[in-house]
Amino acid sequence: MAILEYSVVGKTAVITLTNAENKQDLPFAQAMLDAIAKAEADKSIKALVITADDEKNWSQGVNLNWLMGKMGSGGQDDIKAFMYGMNDVFAKLLTVPFPTIAAITGHAFGNGAILACACDFRFMRQDRGYFCFPEVDVSIPFLPSMIETVKTAVPYYRFNEMKLTGRRITADEALADHILQGACPTPQATFDAAMEFAATFNKGRGIFGEHKRRLHGHILTTMETQDKRYIDALQLMA
């Protein structure tokens, strides 16, 4: 099954996740980087929307079966490449010179929720799907840069609760906490709202990119100076 599809609607690039639960592994990271690079290379693009075509999932986060399989078969280099690759995905979303918008059409768990937080804006469906960080229940700690990335989107008091309890929140709760730009009644309405919002942007890439680099420079520094020791030592489990 294909990992994603890339398309362009007007001046908006659209990445549609197409692999059911859209769990993240090394091929996922590579496909995302390729798609984001394609949008960045197209100078006509003014916004990027990330959506999914599964009826209940946006992204369920790390592919634990892939991860454990690699751990058991001596694939540590692939695991490190995945971790660095997802950091590259997050870094790209945080710095590309146009708005990135998550149309969260289903569950966003763990690394999936972090992927949404790395986007500049978020819309989410109300009728089905949760937003959560279950890492505390699967004994996987956040990398330092993941904490900083989530804090750009989620108020600290809510993030503290979510990461320490693993509690799932609904779109309405996320909207009340201003994590979202909008909570929408259906997946189609969520995608439509994200696309309508994307179409309002016609900003110059120079200033937009500079704003994002200055806003998120500390996250990039954290990736470079703090994440490396955890990734290189493969400190995945608590």
How would residue 74 be classed by pLDDT, with cut points 50, 70 and 90? Answer: confident
In the predicted model, is pLDDT for residue 219 greater than 60?
yes
Task: Map residue 103 onto helix, strand or coil.
Answer: strand
Phi/psi of residue 233, nearest 5 degrees: -90, -5
In the predicted model, is pLDDT for residue 237 greater than 60?
no
Q: Comparing C-alpha atoms, which of 150, 208, 200 is closest to residue 174?
A: 150
In a domain, 208, yes or no: no
Per the structure, how many domains does the chain have? Answer: 1
Task: Tell me the CATH number at 128.
Answer: 3.90.226.10
What is the span of the domain harbouring residue 80? 4-198
So what's the pLDDT on residue 177? Answer: 98
In a domain, 92, yes or no: yes
User: Residue 141 carries which side chain, given as an amino acid letter?
Assistant: P
